[in-house]
Amino acid sequence: MASGIGEVSILQTKFQVATHPATRFVALLHAALTGGLAHVADRKGGVPVNPERWGWLCQRNGRKWVPQGLRVGWVTGDDVFLEPKSSYQVARQLAGAERLGVSEQALRQRLRDQGLLTSIDVGRQMLTVRRTLENRSRQVLHLSTVVFGLSSAQTTK
C-alpha cells in the first residue's frame, strides 16, 4: 500500500512540475527553439555557439546559418537573455488551446519563485535586468543555459 502511495506522489509531483506555468513556459520555449519556431542570437545579433540548439537552420552545405521564427532573446556564455514580450508570445502561441494560464507579469513572478531567473534588478525592484544587446540597452529576463538543458561546456567555443 505504501509503495502505491509513493508512486502516486511521484507521478503527481511530475505532473505539477509539467503544468507549473514557469516550467511549462521554459519547456514551450525550448520546443519552439528546437522546432524552428523561434531563435536566440548571440550578444551582437549574430549566429550563437551551437546554433542548432538555439533555433538556427544550416543551409548551403553547412556554410550558412539562418535564424528560424521570431527572435526571442540572446545567449552569451552561460547566460540567456529573453525579450519578455516575444518569448511570452511564442510560448503562448505554442501552448495553443491549453494556454499558459498566467499573464506575462505573473509569469515573470513565477519564474522568480521557481528560481529560474539568474538575476533581477533589486535596486529598481524589477524582475527584468538591463543589458546591452545588439548595441542597444534592453530590459530582459536573465536565465541560465542550464534551464534549457545546456551546460557551459556546450555553450562555449
Tally: H helices and E strands in the chain:
4, 7
Convert 138-149 to b/e letters by CB count within 10 Å (16 or more is b): bbbbbbbbebbe
- pLDDT attached to residue 98: 72
- pLDDT attached to residue 18: 52
- pLDDT attached to residue 124: 85
> Over the stretch 121-136, which tens digit does the pLDDT of each residue have?
988 889 999 999 999 9
- pLDDT attached to residue 130: 96
- pLDDT attached to residue 150: 66
DSSP 50: S
- pLDDT attached to residue 60: 72
Q: At residue 16, does pLDDT exceed 60? A: no
Alpha-carbon distance of 138 to 147, in angstroms, equals: 21
- pLDDT attached to residue 69: 96
> Over the stretch 67-81, which tens digit does the pLDDT of each residue have?
999 999 999 999 999
Which residues lie closer than 8 Å to 3 by C-beta, 6 or more apart? Answer: none
- pLDDT attached to residue 92: 92
Report the range of poorest mean pLDDT among 22-31, 43-52, 148-157.
148-157
Q: At residue 100, does pLDDT exceed 90? A: no
The rounded mean pLDDT for the chain is 85
- pLDDT attached to residue 11: 39
Domain residue ranges of the chain, discontinuous segments joined by +: 21-154
